Structure 1
Amino acid sequence: MGHDKLLVLTDQVAVSLATIWEAIKVVRKEGFEKLDPLIITQASSDCLLFEEPSSTDDIICVCKSFEFPGDKLLANIYGVLKPGGTILVYLASEPPKGQTMQSPLERKLLLSGFLDVQTSESSQSLAIVGKKPSWNIGSSFSIKKSTPVLPKVNFDDDMDLIDEDSLLTEEDLKKPQLPLGDCEVDRTRKACKNCTCGRAEEEEKVLKLGLTVDQLDNPQSACGNCGLGDAFRCSTCPYKGLPTFKLGEKVTLTGSFLAADI
């Protein structure tokens, strides 16, 4: 304990030794009489500490201002503390009316990287303690990888398994038959008397163009100018690029039409 290094920071011009010892008692329950703390007064909220990194066991901030210690000072304190070192923010007076310091100070310590942040409050003081993690910056350790274990499935030989084919009925095994005589299926028949599928309108249009029922499967356009050539065809005409022909003729392609130009 006699070799421990303790640093006390305060934003006040002067602070009584009784206040400092009360703050030290929060960090050290015993053996604090042998400590010889280094006290820095009038410290600003963003001052820099010119101490060796990871060289100080405990740092106590005795404050009267809500802004002390600042974020830069807390980052500096974090670097100066040894791994596992303690920081104490000690307010030796009641906070201003309507102002709560506990939550903002706890949040500042947590955001600065300190762990196990705890608060002890009395009628005359407020003490918030935090711990620096016990590992050094840049240290590494191995992580034990756990191999997932799949649940075991036991199959009993006596277990009765159901044959899936036995669940099918005779009706399920029958091949579906298409309805005969339907104008949508049987293309050789004319449209029904009360046709609602559009076959009657299609036949009426074909008759106007002078086509037979056998030519219903040939592509037809809305304008009826497919056989007149590209100059008369629509932009979406299926005969785009083909020579002129008579409607009703079977369109054939020459052998050189499908040959590559290169």
Structure 2
Amino acid sequence: MTNAHLLVGSLKSEEYLKLVEENKAALNLVYDRILEGGYELPANSFDQVNLSITEDDYAAINSDQLFLLLFQALAPNGNLTIHKLTPPTLSSQLILTGYTAPVNSEQSSTTTTTKPAHTPAVSLSLNRSQKPSKSLWNFESAPPIDPSQLLTQEDKAAPATPLSCPTTKKRRACADCSCGLKEELANQSQVNIDTSTDLKKTFNSVQDAQAKGATSSCGSCYLGDAFRCASCPYAGLPAFEPGQKVEIDMSADV
């Protein structure tokens, strides 16, 4: 089939019905016959294709598939003319399908594009002489992994962060402690807090406070309230460096 003319449209389009009346020798098809496989368009056979569908048709159908089928049916240098269809994505859609840059005519309300004479192609050079080495896939020859070498001494070292319960996030062991915090705290020096009025109020360090009876079970009171018990004598004071002199008022009217 050469020098053939194809009309594709929608029965809702008055322009399509007009084109059919004016071009009785042209092959005319409703677009759904093409999309549903009711008519298989011959490849590279039409010099001119006219498409006339409504905006509603365009939004409802798979327009990418329709443009591709028309592209395949067009002969090289064949023209596609689209009537009264102006969605914003139309131009990019046609170019991505393989058509040339479309030309819009406001006077005739048409968009015209062309199928290039030569379909763009990409040439790839494959070097088949290089084959993957079988040893790369031979897992039996892989050297064994020594688990003891996976962790360094630094990885095995205990973290330098203060101990706390993973559940309550507090430095106080639960009654039914099972995480080991109770044992860790038992290994630390624990002295009940003495809140008597004759307690020394000036300490040079946490160790000094412990020696004078103003210690708590956590041992990290100097880090700030976030690390202090509810009854800690340091409660309300900012964090301080060990060795810093701290004044604590523990009088009965505080």
TM-score between the two structures when normalised by the length of structure 2: 0.39
Q: Give the number of the structure whose residues are more often helix, by fraction.
A: 2
Over alpha carbons, which structure has the higher Rg? 1
